[in-house]
Amino acid sequence: MGENGTSSAESLFRRAKARFTIGSARNYKAGLELLKRAASLDHVGAHEWLGAAYDYGLGTRPNRRRAFEHYLTAAKAGNPNSEYHVGIFYHGGIGVRKNRVLAVGWLQRSAKHGDAGAMHVLGKCYRYGQGLRKDPEKGFALELEAARKGIVEAQFSVGVCFSKGEGVRSDPKQAFRWYLRAAKKGHDDAAYNLGYFYETGRGVRKNTRKAQHWYARAEVLRKKSTGGTLRK
């Protein structure tokens, strides 16, 4: 691609992003067309954003197969977010046949590029032996790095690891601290586990009032989310 083509692609991409930032169905559709034009000029970011548009149905109906194709194009060009999404799609069989081995490969690439979400999912793969040999210690290390970078699900998982002694020595106090961080950010299972810890005096001084508070908070959060299995 020549210099003019590069400049044109970047200009189209900036205009597309502006449309998506404004919002509304009309702007999403206009932004989508601009992204397609930029992608036709091999703009990596445009492929990444097209993946998201088809993934979440922005300006078009959701189409996970097309989302995967665009994410894959951007991932092959070294885009960390797209590498993460390709890993997630292979991991869950979303828009493509499930393949945990390929999922791990893409998640490893994304994690090496610093993507915290990829670190979390890759950590789970190591913890449960999904697509590679089970390695609780390595899984915990990845989850901890992701948790420190602010990934809420990873913060909850670190709490679980400390609580169960999974990949790390059991430490109820540390488990409580990580559950607290996740719960404050709206994680329902973490809030429930805080209630349990306060109720039983595990990792913290027993406090019935605070236990009731966190149990109630967990119920409120659960109604706002898809829920999940409560893990102590």
Would you give the distance in Å from CA 46 to the centre of its chain? 21
Q: Which of 170, 198, 223 is the last residue of a domain?
A: 170
Find where tokens 């994680």 sit: 187
150: in domain:
yes
108: in domain:
yes
The DSSP result for 191-232, as a single string, is HHHHHHHHHHTSSS---HHHHHHHHHHHHHHHHHS-------
Residues 49, 84 within the same domain: no
What is the average pLDDT value for the chain, to the nearest integer? 94
**Number of helices (H), then strands (E), in the chain:** 12, 0
pTM of the full structure: 0.89
pLDDT (average), residues 40-57: 97
154, 146 Cβ separation under 8 angstroms: yes
67: in domain:
no
Range of the domain at 223: 172-232
Residues 104, 189 within the same domain: no
7: in domain:
yes
Burial of 73 (0-12, 13-18, 19+ CB in 10 A): buried
Read off the pLDDT of residues 164-222 as tens digits, 9 standing for 90 and up: 999 999 999 999 999 999 999 999 999 999 999 999 999 999 999 999 999 999 999 99
Would you give the distance in Å from CA 231 to the centre of its chain? 20
The pLDDT assigned to 2 comes to 45
Residues 142, 185 within the same domain: no
Overall domain count for the chain:
3
25: in domain:
yes
97, 66 Cβ separation under 8 angstroms: no
Residues 136, 177 within the same domain: no
65, 96 Cβ separation under 8 angstroms: yes
Residues 101, 50 within the same domain: no
**CATH number for 146:** 1.25.40.10
Burial of 100 (0-12, 13-18, 19+ CB in 10 A): middle
